[in-house]
Copies of this chain bind each other. A is one copy, B any other.
Amino acid sequence: MKKALAFDIGGTKIYSTIIDEEGNVIGNIDKFSTPKTLDGIKEVLKEQISKYEKDVDIIAIATAGAVNNENTAVIGSTGNLPKGYYTIDFQSLSSKRVFLENDANAAAWAEYKIGASKETSVSVLLTLGTGVGGGIIINDRLLKGKSGAAGEMHFKMFTDKRRKCTCGSWDCFEAYASGTALKRDAEEMLNDKNVTTYDVIDGVNKGDKKMLEIFNRWHNDITQGVIGLANLFDPDCVVLSGSMAQFVDTEKMEKEVNNEIVTAPTSIRIAQAGNYSGMIGASLLALGGLE
């Protein structure tokens, strides 16, 4: 069975393992803090590659940032990674082919192949974490757009400039649907800079009414965004992944979304492909393209 040496390169951590063509994780999970320099990142990759490339057919990298349509390079900037990250020539790091895909796109592909959106024709994946990522699959293909950057969840939730988004623009979905957004909701509603996302979740669990109000605002903002996505894509399902997904009441959200949309009813689901879905999806995409 064909195998990939997989990486997941994020702003905080780099993960690496070996994955087979059925999406099984068959290696140890190696974990590194993301180095602050380009050379540092290249060193981590090179060391893993020199250890494992002889055992695999391809190198599969899920990475923060948009990836070009040739799956060879990162395009544009990537908030949390060192400046100039997009200049890294990943192919030069291995004698085997190196395949890249955006991490949310890769996770969407993993859900589609072995997880929550299996056997659907149109699906939207949202990663709800520190930020919000998106991956959209239409008729067995990732939506990549003209340059590879499609699926960015930066559509407006307000048009009168209330909250700055990490992207530099205002009031994007990411700024209302991420974990950071829940903290910001709490900061605004409690007038307290020190409140954390955890405080809100903890308060909700303890039945604190104010915390529940804050949480419901966040939950509703995600619902409002999903309504727009459902009207645009008419998807079989919307899959929620990332550390914040576990707090979503999918049954409630599904009911609210289907009550508002003009397209056919959709389903809201929690991701099933696990914590390594980025590496799994990148590996399945990379290995799927091999002869």
Contact = CB atoms under 8 A, between A and B. Distances in A.
A108 interface: no
Q: How large is the interface on A (under 10, 10 to 19, 20 to 34, 35 or more residues)?
A: 35 or more
Given A141-B139, A143-B233, A235-B145, A262 B122 contact: no
A234 B148 contact: yes
A156 B155 CA distance: 9
A229 interface: yes
A75 B159 CA distance: 32
Contact of A167 (B153, B167, B262): B262
Chain A facing B: main interface SS: loop
Nearest to A234: B145
A221 B158 CA distance: 10
B155 A229 contact: yes
A176 B157 CA distance: 13
Interface string A6-50: 000000000000000000000000000000000000000000000
5 contacts: A76-B262, A145-B263, A149-B234, A152-B261, A153-B231
